[in-house]
Each structure stands twice: as structure tokens, then as C-alpha cells.
Amino acid sequence: MRRRRVSRVATISMHTSPLDQPGTGDAGGMNVYIVESAKRLAHLGVEVEIFTRQTARDLPPVAEIAPGVSVRHVTAGPYEELDKGDLPGQLCAFLSGVLRTEATYDPGRYDVIHSHYWLSGQVGWLAKERWGVPLVHTMHTMAKVKNLLLAADDKPEPNARVLGEEQVVDVADRLVANTAAEARELVELYGADPARVAVVNPGVNLTVFQPASTGAARHRLGLPDDSRVLLFVGRVQPLKGPDVLLRAAARMLVEDPGLRRRLVVACVGGPSGSGLSRPAMLADLSRELGIADIVRLVPPAPQHELADWYRAADVTVVPSHNESFGLVALESQACGTPVVAASVGGLRTAVRDGVSGLLVDGHDPGDWARVLHRLLREPRRLAVLAEGAVEHAAAFGWQATASRLAEVYAGAMAHLHRTPVAVNS
């Protein structure tokens, strides 16, 4: 019997480019996931071509971001950034560009399609039918889950997205879940066939994110050596819950006014999603709470600078209302900084409660203030958690993610073609 190989993957990321800076707009953990896993797949001999919507006139048709990894810019709608709510109207144009690219090559250029987020899944669905290759899909976030866990001032996801996700779940040959909990949600909320769901944990770049001197990091960032630093990293929107941290900090200062001399609350990221309608949300809330003097609002940072922020912090705070995984938590722990996170979704996997950080039930600022204040007053416990954080994060390298993805691709191909498939090594 002829043995096939996984040689080239068409990765589809319609609504956000892997070239975008994570932390603002629609760029976040998904961007990091696509880039890092693609680079490691290339190390395994699997070429990755990433299709994304062109958002500037001067972007080249194809950009190589690493050996074996390229980004293909597809013209679909105006070049400027579009709201995700407007992107369904560009699905046909984007699909046309994807199909035209494949048509310029000999048949069989791609072995597998891997789509990310439901809009890309719609494109992957039709490309799969045209090319006769399997579709592997990663949700990253799910409308039904988000709508069950909405922040008080957030908007529910529309029914059109729910329907679109259900369609992708029905047609995908394999569904990649970040955690076992997400796999259960796919089965229970979307009726996914458990046999088609594979759990693949995301990873962390252990070369960039690793422990180093806290004092040196604080010096580079302009933070006092004796400060107590609480850090939020991520897109500024209600889903991520940065307001919970600010309100908790205000409660801590009421309880311990002397802490004001040393406390720094740093928020690294930019507005996104429903947060775009209130771009000054954190600045306004800081003034309203009377803590503007201790809050530092920092724009999205490249990875090497972000690693310094993690190292400079005493604790990284992740108060999200929902997370499919929580790469921020993993990055922080890899740098040796414990995490206090909401006990939701993938954060229950990304943070090992009581070992690499602490999980908090609910989003009551009073509860968060008590947990954070107690932790800042217990340096020995912080040190123990810091050691546990590094050890926990070490198990989540991107190479393991890529190897598992390659196995999922091979399984999808074998099922479709009924022939054994080799994973490159």
C-alpha cells in the first residue's frame, strides 16, 4: 500500500494576521499559536502556508516569516482593518483568493487545511470540498461558551456566529481542542463527534520566556526596585476582566493605605473587541477609583520586552471571564512569575492551583483583593510558587504542540484517504 506523507499545510487565519502585534485589535494568543506552531512544524519538515486578509496596500503577496513558513496576503474588502462583524461579507472574496492561489499550482499542493476561528472554518469548509483534503479546525473561542460567561458590560455573540460554528463542527474532519475541558464543551454544546476531537495543548517559547533578574528587568522598565508589581497582559476588553484587577487594587489600598507608596499596577495591551468603543476604559476607571497614580498603561509589547514585564512583576493577574487556554499565564510562569487567575476554561490547565499560582472563583473584586494582598505579604509562598511556575511551564514547549498537530494531520489524512500517513521527523 502506498504511504502518504504530511508535506504541506494550508493554514487559514482570515480575520487576523500572524504578522500583527499581539495584544491589540484582534491579535492575541491565536496569532502567537499560529506562528509558533508553524515554525515548529517546519522543523519537522511540514511546510506551512498561512492565508490571511491583506490589511495594507504595501504588503507583499507572500512574506516568509521563517524557513518553511510563509504568509499569503489575500485581497478581500478594503485594506484597512475591518470589524469582525463585517468580515462575513468578505468570505466569498477571501475564499476566491485562496482557491485562485491553489489553482496556479499542480493538483495536490496541500495535504491538509488547518483553519483557525469560525470565519476561517467557513473558508476551509469550501476549500476542503474543492481540493479533496481533510479540514482540521481550531475554535480558539466559542460563541456558546462566551455567551454563558459574559462580563456584565459585554455584548453576547450573534446567532450568525453560533450557526457558523455549528456548521464547521459538522464538516471538520478533526477538531483541535486546547484542553480536555474544551473538548467536552465541543461535544456537549456543539454535538461534536468525540472521535473527531483531539486535545492539543498550546505551548510557550521557553527560549524567550525564561527566568532572569527581576531587578534588571525593573531597571529597564523604569520601575523602583522595592515596588510591588501586579501585572495584567492582554487585549483590553470586558472579556479579559482588567477592571477586576483595578477594582481589587483600589480595595487593597483602602485596607492598607501604606501600600500606595510601593504598589504598581501595570496593564500591557490595547483595546480590542467591545473595548474598542471605550479605548480609554482603563484610564477612566483608574481616575474614578482614585488609583491613577499607581496604574501604568503600556501599549502592546514585543516578546522580549513582554518577558521583562513578567520578570518585573510579583504576580501576573489573569481575571478573564473565559479563556480557551491562557497563553499569558504560561508565559508568565515560564519567566518565574506566579499567576493568580480566574478558575475558568483553559486557565485551570494553564495554571496548577497551589503549585504554580492560584485560581480564584468568580470575579468579585473583594475576593481578588484578599488573595492578592495576602500573597504580597507572604514572600516565602511567592518564592515557592515561583519555583513551581517554572517547572509547570517547562512541560508546555511549542515543539510538543507541533508534534501532536502533525499526528492529528496524519490521522485526518489517513481517515480520508484510507491509507497510512507518515509524520515527518
310 assigned ligand-binding residue: yes
| Residue among 305, 355, 353, 368 nearest 331 (CA) | 305
CA angle 257, 261, 265 (to 5 degrees): 90
Cβ neighbours of residue 235 closer than 8 Å, sequence gap 6 or more: 23, 24, 25, 27, 28, 269, 270, 271, 272, 273, 275
Residue 73 burial class via C-beta count within 10 angstroms: exposed 0-12, middle 13-18, buried 19 and up: buried
207 is in an annotated binding site: no
Q: Please state whether beta strands 135-138 and 112-116 pair in parallel, antiparallel, or not at all (unpaired).
A: parallel
Residue that the C-alpha cell 527566568 belongs to: 211
Please tell me the predicted confidence (pLDDT) of residue 3: 46
Reference 218, options 184, 166, 188, 262; nearest CA is: 262
Residue 27 among known ligand-binding residues: yes
**Residue 26 in marked binding region:** yes
Residue 104 annotated in ligand binding: no
Distance CA 249, CA 138 (A): 36
**What are the backbone dihedrals phi and psi of residue 413, each rounded to the nearest 5 degrees, phi first?**
-65, -45
- Strand pairing of 228-233 and 135-138? unpaired
The answer to whether 318 and 28 have CB atoms below 8 angstroms apart is no
Was 321 annotated as part of a binding site? no
Other CB atoms within 10 Å distance of the CB of residue 152 = 8
Dist CA 210 CA 228 (whole Å): 20
30 assigned to a ligand binding site: yes
* 28 marked as binding residue: yes
Please, where are the H alpha helices in 364-397? 365-376, 379-393
- Residue 1: predicted pLDDT: 37
Tell me how far apart the alpha carbons of residues 51 and 69 are, in angstroms, rounded to a whole number.
11
Q: Which three cell numbers stand for residue 170?
A: 459538522
The span from the CA of 195 to the CA of 183, in Å, is 11
Cα of 148 vs its chain's centroid, Å: 20
pLDDT at 2: 45
Q: How many residues does the chain have?
A: 425
Handedness of CA 10, 198, 38, 304 (dihedral sign): positive
The answer to whether the annotation marks 21 as part of a ligand binding site is yes
Per-residue model confidence as pLDDT tens for the chain (425 residues): 344 689 999 999 998 888 776 655 566 678 889 999 999 999 999 999 999 999 888 889 999 999 999 999 999 888 777 677 788 888 999 999 999 999 999 999 999 999 999 999 999 999 999 999 999 999 998 999 989 887 777 788 899 999 999 999 999 999 999 999 999 999 999 999 999 999 999 999 999 999 999 999 999 999 999 999 999 999 898 889 999 999 999 999 999 999 999 999 999 998 766 556 677 889 999 999 999 999 999 998 989 999 999 999 999 999 999 888 889 999 999 999 999 999 998 999 999 999 999 999 999 999 999 999 999 999 999 999 999 999 999 999 999 999 999 999 999 999 887 767 677 75
| CA atoms of 176 and 124, how far apart (whole Å) | 14
33: annotated binding-site residue? no
- Quote the CA–CA distance of 95 and 234 in Å, as a whole number: 30
Q: Within 10 A of 407 (CB to CB), how many other CB atoms are there?
A: 15
337 belongs to an annotated ligand binding site: yes
Q: What is the pLDDT of residue 80?
A: 73
C-alpha distances (whole Å) from 227 to each of 54, 247, 306, 312 are 43, 19, 18, 9
- The residues, any chain, with a CB within 8 Å of residue 174's CB and separated by 6 or more, are 134, 135, 136, 137, 196, 197, 198, 408, 411, 412
- In angstroms, rounded to a whole number, what is the distance separating the alpha carbons of residues 244 and 69? 39
pLDDT at 331: 96
* Domains in the chain with CATH codes: 8-203+398-417 (3.40.50.2000), 214-395 (3.40.50.2000)
Q: Is 43 annotated as a binding residue?
A: no
Reduced to 3 states (helix: H, G, I; strand: E, B; else coil), residue 195 is helix
114 belongs to an annotated ligand binding site: no
Q: Does 22 count as an annotated binding residue?
A: yes
Residue 240 labeled ligand binder: yes
Is 214 annotated as contributing to ligand binding? no
Phi-psi region at 77: left, alpha or beta (left = phi > 0; alpha = psi -120 to 50): left
Is 141 labelled as part of a ligand binding site? Answer: yes
- The pTM score is 0.88
Is 10 within 8 Å of 114 (Cβ atoms)? yes
pLDDT at 325: 85
